Structure 1
Amino acid sequence: MPQDTASKLQARPIPVPSAAPESPPVTTMLMILALIMVTLYVGRDLLVPIALAVLLSFVLAPLVSRLRRWRVPRVPAVAAVVALLFVVIAGFGLMVGTQIADLAGNAPTYERNIRQKIQSLEGAGQGGGLVSRVSSMVRHLRSDIQQAASPEKPPSPGVNPDTPPAQTPVLVRVEDDASPVEVLGNYLGPVLAPLATLGMVLVFTLFILLQREDLRDRFIRLAGSGDLSRTTVAMNDAGKRVSRYLLMQVVVNALFGIPVGIGLWLIGVPNPALWGLLAFVLRFVPFAGPVIAVSFPLLLSIAVDPGWTMPLLTAGLFVVLELFSNNVVEPWLYGPATGMSAVAIIVSAVFWTTLWGPVGLLLATPLTVCLVVLGRHVPQLHFLEVMFGDRPVLPDEAKVYQRLLAGDPEEAIEICEATLEQGEFPALLDRVLLPALSLAEQDRQRGTLLPEGRHAVATGMAALLESLGDLGASATSPGTGRILCIAGRNELDEAAARLLSERLRRDGADAPVIACAELSPRHIDRLDAAGVRAAAVSYLNPSALSHARRTVARLRRRLGPGVPILLCLWEAHPEADAPRRATAETAADRVATNIGAAVEQLEELGGAVTLNAAE
């Protein structure tokens, strides 16, 4: 074999079989979430009492800590707190049972009132009451549907069709093979199941409070003992948020339940203490709780009052209290306590109710709060905080850029107006609008922003500035001269120059915007240099110093050596190397990196530029 051929063969790379592609992280995450959901659903009989016990431990832990500070040993302190919880639950059940028994004793009176209301409805109107007419219509429709579904068979030959069919006797056999144990289980099962769950919850709560420190250490070991700081912060944050949520919920429910009891007592609804207590408890259940709370006293008021005054007053009482609680009390106390968005509360309620039923609806908010806290402190679970947290996931500048890029400046204008309510117009320029243009420039340098996108951002920014109006603007001062706000290379630089022009115009200066095309070698001689006292050249790309050097040279030749030139490198950090090198490399008089600094530099450049409004 020739030597050159052998060397070519040796130099040829040997193909290596590629390894199997790794599973995408999204697919792995979805598989883990599916496994977690199946586990939560299958093990709900055990997990629900544990979740309730953990929730109760958050409520009772401060009481145990208070007793511990009073030098009470741990075991007696925990036993006393759990015994107090048992007494409260038993007292609640006794009170509810007593009120229900009293309510049942007056059932005959309520039945007579309900019959009178039905008879009054049936007798209302001419030609039969409303109820009777509706009932008759329903009966006729049902009869017609049954006849259409079961057509009559033709009579057999020799059989008189008017003769009624013979009735076939039906054999009925009564079997009573159920054992006494089965009968007892059928009657006591619905009662014993909640009691068994309550017993499990109390036992779990007792052991969680007794072994609180040990369980915390085990959780830290599972989460990773190498990062004690992050794990401790996450646990403290979760505990504080859940405790704050429960405390605020108790206050909100009390401010709702107590007025309900007092109002129903004034209206005359029987057993007002029962309905006030149920309103307090049921408001722990999101969405469905208030509806259930109003239904019982409303139906009772219909049964008690022969007329309709009491039901209307009862409905009005609940409507007024619900509006006051939702619009005044909850935003003041409960709203910021969870750290969850409104959509997250709805989604969590649907999710946990689907998995665990009514108990899941009760636990939805506390469990999701814990997930949000984990997403805030664990990088791998950050998507939970993004999906369910109440903190903005995008800064204002990113939202403004996104809306301008989408060709929808109206929402960007709303964001700017909200920012103006909290600060001044110069802060809006430097903290929102200029960073938004910097994001667009970064996308342009990466090649992800097409010319159509640049045009949409530039035109949208111009429309945004025009929509903000002339609030805070001063009249142009005569004799101050013109300050040219010049675009460096593209439409985005022109939009940045327009921001500076708007700021100078609001300060009372005449600051026209010059497009980058007007500085080309063919058009520079057409630039109007009369009355120009300064020029500011805008670049969103701080690395474009060679282009800036040529632009400054053309402006020197056209405007003359006596006109100061300010180079604005908007994206450059004030302490970066680019601003320090820019003066020497471009021969500009000054360099500015934000609009506030640009205004100060223009004020300091020779006394040629005078602005009416100070920074």
Structure 2
Amino acid sequence: MMLAHTELRTRLQTICIVLVAMVVVVTAMKLAKGLLAPVTLGLIVGIVAAPGMRLLARLGIPRAVSASISLLFVGAATVLLIAGLGPIVMDLIGQVPRIEDEIRWWVIDASRAIRGLESVQIELEQSLAEDGKEVEAAMPSLLDALSMAPNFAAQLLTFAGTFFFFTLTQNEIYATVKGKAASLRQADKAVSHYFVTVAAINAGLGAAVFAAMTVIGVPNPILWGAAAFILNFVLYLGPVMLLVALAVVGFTEFNGAYALLPALAYLMLNMTEAQFVTPTLVGQRLQLNPLVVFLAILFGLWLWGPIGGIVSLPLLVWATAFMAHQPQPDPATDADLAPTQA
């Protein structure tokens, strides 16, 4: 009885120590966001670029040159993404006053249809006006942008340095991990295949959204196609953000039931992709629990913001593939390697 009590106490102490250690680690990761987030992003992008590095190595290109080419390619892709998203963000910000006016007119029309609510109408109009002032005050000023520039530049340099030196010395790093190099490479391969497959699916979704928005008559359809391609990498949350944005654009650009068409068209395309295309092309290779994926993305967003939302799913894929490709002990090999008896 005393022995069982001692074992139970030891087990509870171990659980408490593990929980405290997890809290300390998560807190440290959140406090070190400015350093760890770009470093992790650089490692993830380096893992995704590993097949290209191997291809360049087979062509006889020195690894330092290959790492430089990969860094230039990633930099050019980042500039293109920022250039594509910038007009969309600025357009949505510019729509804020127009959205306020639309909401104000809806409130006025609804209050006119119901007698005796004049006071409610006035209060709602005043609250909307105050909300508009708060939105304008929340908009980042030029001084705010300038104050954030050094931090952004530091994180960008951290990302670039991590990516370059990781791709340059990846073979040496994996060689130092005894007995795990094969599992690490299998995990890298799973992440690369996953990213390439999802990128191809998202490109098809972006093209379909571009075509649908063009037919409907939504302004800047190519930008909405680019947004669908980019935001679909952030599962669940990205499509919801774009759905809300298209609903807002629909109500500001069109009248009547036609205003629902942009959001409904995107919803149908996204559901087709999520329910049929992605499970067929990705689900057979890697099974991930949707709840685990959702919680991982939420945790990443809470921990490191947008960068956390981007790296959370690749990290989950990498960890799942790494655990699934652990080498199994071979009894025959173990017997051959066992020391002989004198």
TM range (shorter): 0.7 to 0.9
Structure 2: give runs of 5+ residues left out of the alignment: 1-5, 127-140, 328-342
The amino acid of 1:321's aligned partner reads: L
Alpha-carbon shift at residue 342 of structure 1 (Å): 2.2
Report the counterpart of residue 44 of structure 2 in structure 1: 55
Report the counterpart of residue 600 of structure 1 in structure 2: none
Paired residues for 1:506-525 under 5 Å: none
User: In 2, are the aligned partners of 1:339 and 1:369 still within 8 Å (CA)?
Assistant: no
Q: 2: distance between equivalents of 1:308 and 1:194?
A: 43
Deviations 1:141-195 (A, max 9, x none): x9xxxxxxxxxxxxxxxxxxxxxxxxxxxxxxxxxxxxxxxx9864412444334
Q: 1: distance between equivalents of 2:282 and 2:317?
A: 13
Are positions 1:202 and 2:157 aligned together?
no
User: In 1, are the aligned partners of 2:84 and 2:226 still within 8 Å (CA)?
Assistant: no
Alpha-carbon shift at residue 120 of structure 1 (Å): 6.5
User: In 2, are the aligned partners of 1:114 and 1:302 still within 8 Å (CA)?
Assistant: no
Deviations 1:316-360 (A, max 9, x none): 201211220121112112224444222321332233333223322
Are positions 1:136 and 2:120 aligned together?
yes
User: In 2, are the aligned partners of 1:269 and 1:297 still within 8 Å (CA)?
Assistant: no
Are positions 1:39 and 2:25 aligned together?
no
Are the structure 2 counterparts of residues 86 and 255 from structure 1 closer, same or farther at C-alpha, using a change threshold of 3 Å?
same
Report the counterpart of residue 282 of structure 1 in structure 2: 231
Report the counterpart of residue 360 of structure 1 in structure 2: 308
User: In 2, are the aligned partners of 1:121 and 1:129 still within 8 Å (CA)?
Assistant: no
Report the counterpart of residue 439 of structure 1 in structure 2: none
Q: 2: distance between equivalents of 1:344 and 1:105?
A: 33
Higher mean alpha-carbon deviation, 259-268 vs 28-37, is at: 28-37
User: In 2, are the aligned partners of 1:244 and 1:337 still within 8 Å (CA)?
Assistant: no
Are the structure 2 counterparts of residues 79 and 134 from structure 1 closer, same or farther at C-alpha, using a change threshold of 3 Å?
farther
What's the secondary structure of 2:164's corresponding residue? Answer: helix
Alpha-carbon RMSD across the aligned residues, in angstroms, is 3.6
Paired residues for 1:244-259 under 5 Å: 244-259=193-208
User: In 1, are the aligned partners of 2:102 and 2:252 still within 8 Å (CA)?
Assistant: no
2:108 to 97, 106, 122: 122
Q: Which has the higher helix share?
A: 2
User: In 2, are the aligned partners of 1:122 and 1:131 still within 8 Å (CA)?
Assistant: no
Are the structure 2 counterparts of residues 216 and 131 from structure 1 closer, same or farther at C-alpha, using a change threshold of 3 Å?
farther
Alpha-carbon shift at residue 362 of structure 1 (Å): 2.0
User: In 1, are the aligned partners of 2:300 and 2:312 still within 8 Å (CA)?
Assistant: yes
The amino acid of 2:81's aligned partner reads: F
Larger Rg: 1
Are the structure 2 counterparts of residues 346 and 122 from structure 1 closer, same or farther at C-alpha, using a change threshold of 3 Å?
same
1:347 to 291, 295, 300: 295
The amino acid of 2:192's aligned partner reads: S
TM-score, with structure 1 as normaliser? 0.44
Deviations 1:83-129 (A, max 9, x none): 1221122123234445667x499979x94x974785466346xx814
Structure 1: give runs of 5+ residues left out of the alignment: 1-19, 143-182, 380-615
What's the secondary structure of 1:82's corresponding residue? Answer: helix
Are the structure 2 counterparts of residues 351 and 87 from structure 1 closer, same or farther at C-alpha, using a change threshold of 3 Å?
closer
Alpha-carbon shift at residue 271 of structure 1 (Å): 0.7
User: In 1, are the aligned partners of 2:50 and 2:192 still within 8 Å (CA)?
Assistant: no
Q: Which has the higher contact order (CA 8 A, sep 6+)?
A: 2
User: In 2, are the aligned partners of 1:285 and 1:362 still within 8 Å (CA)?
Assistant: yes
What's the secondary structure of 1:211's corresponding residue? Answer: helix
The amino acid of 1:343's aligned partner reads: L
User: In 2, are the aligned partners of 1:252 and 1:334 still within 8 Å (CA)?
Assistant: no
2:319 to 352, 371, 383: 371
What's the secondary structure of 2:234's corresponding residue? Answer: coil
Q: 2: distance between equivalents of 1:33 and 1:62?
A: 34
User: In 2, are the aligned partners of 1:40 and 1:47 still within 8 Å (CA)?
Assistant: yes
Report the counterpart of residue 212 of structure 2 in structure 1: 263
Percent identity over paired residues: 22
Are the structure 2 counterparts of residues 300 and 342 from structure 1 closer, same or farther at C-alpha, using a change threshold of 3 Å?
closer
What's the secondary structure of 2:288's corresponding residue? Answer: coil
Are positions 1:298 and 2:282 aligned together?
no
Paired residues for 1:367-516 under 5 Å: 367-376=315-324
Deviations 1:59-79 (A, max 9, x none): 212112212222222222221
User: In 1, are the aligned partners of 2:51 and 2:192 still within 8 Å (CA)?
Assistant: no
The amino acid of 2:206's aligned partner reads: G
User: In 1, are the aligned partners of 2:50 and 2:188 still within 8 Å (CA)?
Assistant: no
TM-score, with structure 2 as normaliser? 0.75
User: In 2, are the aligned partners of 1:248 and 1:337 still within 8 Å (CA)?
Assistant: no
Report the counterpart of residue 316 of structure 1 in structure 2: 264
- What is the number of residues matched between the two proteins? 304
Are the structure 2 counterparts of residues 122 and 249 from structure 1 closer, same or farther at C-alpha, using a change threshold of 3 Å?
same
